[in-house]
Chain A
Amino acid sequence: MKRVQILLLLAAVALAGGAVLAFSAPLDRLQGEYTRLLYVHVPTLWIAFLAFGLTAFGSIADLIRKKMRWDRRAAGSAEIGVLFSVVGVCTGMVWGQVVWGQAWAWSAARLATPGLLVFVYIGYLALRQAIDDPVRRARRAAILGTIAVVQTPLVYFSVNLWRTLHQTQSIRPDGSTMEPEMLVALLVNVAAFTIAYIALLVGRTFVSRLEEDAAPATELAGDQVSPPRLSEVEDV
């Protein structure tokens, strides 16, 4: 519990530092104040990819090691990933409305594919909710978590596959096209959001363990009793 509190405090400090840099960084000449959305939009989508990547990793580890702690991490990461994806897509829509004049463009696959990625993990979470037995839930979710990562490369490379509204990556292995101050602010915010993700994941995993401990270990009275079938009572 203490570790979760320390991590949450650290995340709050890092996010506050990131916000200061975001508000002191120079603005884009054309985008004005809306440039600042970049410092939320990029980190949240980065966290979404990281979270879904960890869900896949946790799922594979769960299939190999068959330890519940990997299932808890995978599930917690998927929940956080969905949350951050939604925030990332929404900030992108606000930015798109201002800069492109439209919030959503179907021709821009970079908009549509993360939107669909959210639904992949909503399906993952729905599957988890549909199964009561923790072991069966963990195994089936691990299989889906492993398959679900198939789509992630398509989403990531979609800006290069489709030459549409969305610009290609600003930060590449051969350098950056951004101003140095903007780049620093962006990287600090990415780091701050990553710490926030770790804090949320550790906290969620802790809560999941408490939930499992609180769940009844034995069957409830009446679990073994089933109502008589019609065919059994017809002759009476």
Chain B
Amino acid sequence: MSLRAQAREVARIDLVVERRVGDTLRIVLPFAVVALMIFSLATPSAITDLGDIGIAVFWGVAVLYGMQIALRISASETARRREVMSLIGLDPAARFLGRSFASAMMLMMFMTVLLVFTVVLFDPDLPDAWLPTMLLVIVLAASGLAMLSTLAGEVAGGLRNKSALASLIVAPLVVPVVVGASQTLESMNQDNGILLWILLLITTDLVLLTAGIGLSRPLEEASR
């Protein structure tokens, strides 16, 4: 079985499990929408135009709540299951790729729905032809966050304080993704070029992809 086929199988299983559990749609997404509402209610009345902060709030909520999706319990493995996977010859790189792909798919869906709520609730200032750029940024940001969270989840896997520790690892490391994603629309609003920020997102994704594939075998050894 090729690496691609193995990764596809891992992603398929993850997505099937998520469809049955439904954490993303039933729990995290409503929770994130509530967070958007809390932000708008907590904003001082002196700030009359919520549109000014709409996209910033969107990225803050998308990344912090997106981490909950990428670090979901259904994506973690018991030591026994991990051993079985090693015994059947599953390539650790395929596991990283498959898991990241599944998380990225969920994150893209989550961010897209959250964006709709942001536009409705905040009415943010958006430049012309923003939607294709925003969708591209969502794809790149979701991929970066998914890969980083998969790596952090593996590094902290099996530890008693896994969820808190993995979040502490991901949150500061995800800064290049947040900066690239948030500055793209900001640059469009100011009629500046967006290439620099898109390149930052692509570079971060490529570095994480390389690191994830390259470190997957040592990670498997460390997890035993």
What residues of chain A have their CB less than 8 Å away from a CB belonging to chain B? Answer: 63, 109, 113, 116-117, 119-120, 122-124, 126-127, 130-131, 136, 139-140, 142-144, 146-148, 150-151, 154, 161
Contact = CB atoms under 8 A, between A and B. Distances in A.
Contacts of B175: 113, 116, 151, 154
Given A126-B165, A130-B161, A143-B215, A151 B172 contact: yes
B169 interface: yes
Interface in B151-200: 151-152, 155-156, 159-161, 165, 168-169, 171-173, 175-176, 179, 196, 200
Contacts of A117: 172
A222 B43 CA distance: 56
Contact of B208 (A136, A143, A150): A150
Nearest to B196: A161
Contact of A130 (B152, B159, B215): B159
Contact of A147 (B156, B160, B215): B215
A14 B74 CA distance: 55
A147 B173 contact: yes
Sorting the interface of chain B by its residue count into under 10, 10 to 19, 20 to 34 or 35 or more gives: 20 to 34
B218 to A, nearest CB: 5
Contact of B169 (A109, A142, A144, A150): A144
Contacts, number: 74
B218 A63 contact: yes
A120 B152 CA distance: 12
Per DSSP, chain B at the interface is helix
B221 interface: yes
15 contacts: A120-B173, A123-B165, A123-B169, A127-B155, A127-B165, A130-B156, A130-B159, A130-B161, A140-B219, A143-B155, A144-B155, A146-B211, A146-B215, A150-B207, A154-B200
A150 B173 contact: yes
A123 B168 contact: yes
Given A127-B155, A130-B160, A161-B196, A151 B171 contact: no
A122 B148 CA distance: 17
A146 B221 CA distance: 16
Nearest to B162: A130
Which of B169, B171, B176, B211 has the most A CB atoms < 10 Å from its CB?
B169
A119 B155 contact: no
B172 A120 contact: yes
Given A147-B151, A147-B211, A116 B172 contact: yes
A130 B165 contact: yes
B222 interface: yes
A214 to B, nearest CB: 24
Contacts of B169: 120, 123-124, 127, 144
A122 B169 CA distance: 9
A126 B152 CA distance: 13
Given A113-B175, A150-B204, 10 more contacts: A109-B179, A123-B165, A124-B169, A127-B156, A140-B156, A143-B222, A144-B152, A147-B208, A150-B176, A150-B211
A140 B172 contact: no
A113 B219 CA distance: 28
Contact of A148 (B156, B159, B173, B204): B173
Nearest to A115: B172
A201 B58 CA distance: 42
A79 B64 CA distance: 27
Contacts of A116: 172, 175
Contacts of B211: 146-147, 150
Nearest to B159: A130
A136 B222 CA distance: 5
Contact of B171 (A63, A119, A131, A146): A119
Contacts of B200: 154
Question: When A and B form their complex, which 8 residue pairs have the shortest distance between CB atoms, in order from nearest?
Answer: A139-B222, A119-B172, A123-B168, A123-B169, A120-B172, A116-B172, A140-B222, A130-B159
B84 to A, nearest CB: 20
A131 B158 CA distance: 10
A113 B173 CA distance: 10
